[in-house]
Structure 1
Amino acid sequence: MAAVAALTSCAEEPGKSGGKSGDAITVGLTYTPNIQFAPFYVAQEKGFYKSAGIEVNIRHHGAAEDLFGALKRGKEDVVYAGGDEILQARAKNLPIVDIATVYHKYPVALLVPEDSDIKKPADLKGKTLGTPGPYGETYFGLLALLKEGGLTPKDAKVKYIGFTQQAALKGDRVDGVMGYTNNDAIAFKESGTPVRALNLSSEGGGQALVGPSLGAKQATLDKRGDDVRKFVDASLRGMQYTIDHPQEAVKLSQKYIPGLRDKGRQENALAVLMATRPLMRNDNGELGYIDPQVWDKMADFMYGQGLLDEQIQAEEAYDAEYLPKS
């Protein structure tokens, strides 16, 4: 998720948690440190990993690193990535498995000016729509919105604008931009540009996309399944604590996010975190839950849109056995 780079530059390398069993679990949190990764920082700082008996290294990729590169090389055991990105990786012969859902509501939407005449996906016909490029969750979300409106990319004017959403929308170069509801929408608000979010509909099939999740290679799961279960359980504890104590979560994240001791950045981080909290639980209030029906819909949608090199059986791409037992 490129949007997570908004607040930060490279951070100091955090220390390990003091577990007692086996080698450390290294989790790759993509791009630069950001408050959206607070559940992992919180789990580290509150000692949840330590109390689970595992050692955890938090590793940030930086903006230029390949999403799954370190996982492929064995430098990471678990990676934070979209379920849709995991499915693409499997289609390219990377045996990665989704082991927990981080966001249950897809975090991408089309952001339009408040007075825009775009009210529903069908209104996108003939509109100029900006997205960073033909990749990642912003692009997948755009395709899903268009399909929900009975449209294809040929029915709109799609512009690849890089990560210049604010400049493109404020400069009237586009009618709407794809962005993250818990990051880009906050940035627009703070800059004095009010926007509305056209979200994917769970009823119209647009929500047939799996957002940020935790993935691991099958070989890692086979070899270190118990440690992975402990990691997932402790991370979900960190997620619940972050939901319940957002202000403390911002404070605990200061060690990981450069510049977060600044009051203005703390206010921004809290706003982002408050917008992130509703994404973390499903409609039943569950954390981490993997929904087989959404995975099935996503596999069909992505193959139909030409986003997969081959048809993937969705059930091969996830495994709920690493979630805590209720």
Structure 2
Amino acid sequence: MNIKTLVMAMSLAIAPLAATAQEQLTYLFPAPDFLPAFAPFQLAKGLGYFEEEGLEVEFRVGQGGADVARQVAVGNADLGGGIGDTPIIVRANGLDVRGVALLGGRGYTQLAWRVESGITGPADLEGKRIGVMSFQDTTYYNILGVLASEGLSRGDADLQAVGPGGIIQLMISGDLDAVSAVPEWIAAIQGAGVELGQMPVDEVFPAMAQAVLASDDIIAERPEVITSFVRALTRAVNDIVADPAAAAAQYVQLVPQHADKEAGIAAIMQAYATQVYPAAEGFAFGAFNPERLEAAQAFYLEAGIVREAVPVADLYTNDFVASE
């Protein structure tokens, strides 16, 4: 075989590999990636949705939303997870990060209370013991908004930063009256036999769902990758909404930490499907509502959570979300 023939043969052998090469992408979670809140990501990866979009996605875990935003901003991760309002806080601190997809048109957090506490809604929170994850977290910011909706301030209730484990344990023990919590924490409390009342925070405050975050640089340099990622993720969310029980069965097969917990996971997915994932009226799934962002930023300014406002148009883009 002469050199020319050898080169041609090698080219033909390599061509199929090149044609199927996957685009590399890293996604940084703000908390352990086995949490049920991140089920759409695990389903999109485990069921091959990312692969079908030409993506090879590597999951990594950061140290909270602020850390994720920082790592995404400096290029240590291509995309990352936060809440829809995360860019309000981090962009004011010089991190050029914005939301590129919102996982639902409802708020991520719910207000839940022990029925025996006498609470029936936000107006009854004065003087009550209320748990949040931390004082630098959306659960805290949202409860401030809930209190403000009734003319109450932080000092009018006993707010306690107890972490996710504390929220569950102290509600079960009766050492908390209410919590600002995500669906899986509420499910764990109810699973222990505690009777709860609850309401979505977004009924009284412009709370938002989880969001996919990207830097301005990635948006400019790799827009097609973001589009593919969001499309695959949306497909997984649609699976959960269409059949939470079937999605739960697939999820527990993919995430061994939840083996033998299928019924509980199905209940959590049902909660997300009905309380978080539905798109806001007039908006496609994944799209940000600029008026909601503006209202949230106005409250954060008034409450001293941020010191200066940034243009709302810099907080998000709906360019990567499929139209209705």
**TM-score range for the pair, normalised by the shorter chain length:** 0.7 to 0.9
Where does the alignment leave 5 or more consecutive residues of structure 2 unmatched?
1-17
Counterparts of 1:77 and 1:235, CA distance in 2: 15
Aligned with residue 263 of structure 2, among 263, 267, 280: 267
The corresponding residue for 2:5 is: none
Q: Give percent identity, aligned residues only.
A: 20
2:75 aligned counterpart, secondary structure: coil
The one-letter amino acid of 1:167's match is Q
Counterparts of 2:19 and 2:237, CA distance in 1: 19
- C-alpha change, 1:22 and 1:95, in structure 2 (3 Å) is farther
Length-normalised TM-score, structure 2: 0.85
The corresponding residue for 1:282 is: 279
The corresponding residue for 1:186 is: 187
* Residue 102 (str. 1) matches residue 103 (str. 2): yes
Counterparts of 1:102 and 1:171, CA distance in 2: 32
The one-letter amino acid of 1:27's match is Y
- C-alpha change, 1:187 and 1:301, in structure 2 (3 Å) is same
Aligned with residue 175 of structure 1, among 174, 177, 188: 177
- C-alpha change, 1:29 and 1:19, in structure 2 (3 Å) is farther
2:81 aligned counterpart, secondary structure: strand
The corresponding residue for 1:200 is: 201
TM-superposed CA distance for 1:166, in Å, is 3.2
Higher helix share: 2
> What RMSD over aligned residues (CA atoms) do the two structures have, in Å?
2.5
Cα contact 1:41–1:252 (8 A) shared by 2 = no
Cα contact 2:28–2:77 (8 A) shared by 1 = yes
The corresponding residue for 2:134 is: 133
Greater mean alpha carbon deviation, residues 110-119 or residues 84-93: 110-119
Length-normalised TM-score, structure 1: 0.84
The one-letter amino acid of 1:315's match is A
1:24 aligned counterpart, secondary structure: strand
- C-alpha change, 1:84 and 1:143, in structure 2 (3 Å) is same
* Residue 306 (str. 1) matches residue 304 (str. 2): yes
The corresponding residue for 1:9 is: none
Greater mean alpha carbon deviation, residues 75-84 or residues 160-169: 160-169
Counterparts of 1:127 and 1:134, CA distance in 2: 17
TM-superposed CA distance for 1:216, in Å, is 0.1
Cα contact 2:103–2:285 (8 A) shared by 1 = yes
Cα contact 1:29–1:80 (8 A) shared by 2 = yes
- C-alpha change, 1:167 and 1:311, in structure 2 (3 Å) is same
The one-letter amino acid of 1:26's match is T
Cα contact 1:35–1:257 (8 A) shared by 2 = no
The corresponding residue for 2:87 is: 86
Pick the structure with greater CA Rg. Answer: 2
Counterparts of 1:116 and 1:49, CA distance in 2: 46
The one-letter amino acid of 1:266's match is E
The equivalences for 1:104-253 within 5 A come to 104-163=105-164, 164-180=166-182, 182-202=183-203, 204=204, 206=205, 208-253=206-251
The equivalences for 1:37-76 within 5 A come to 37-61=38-62, 66-76=67-77
- C-alpha change, 1:254 and 1:79, in structure 2 (3 Å) is same
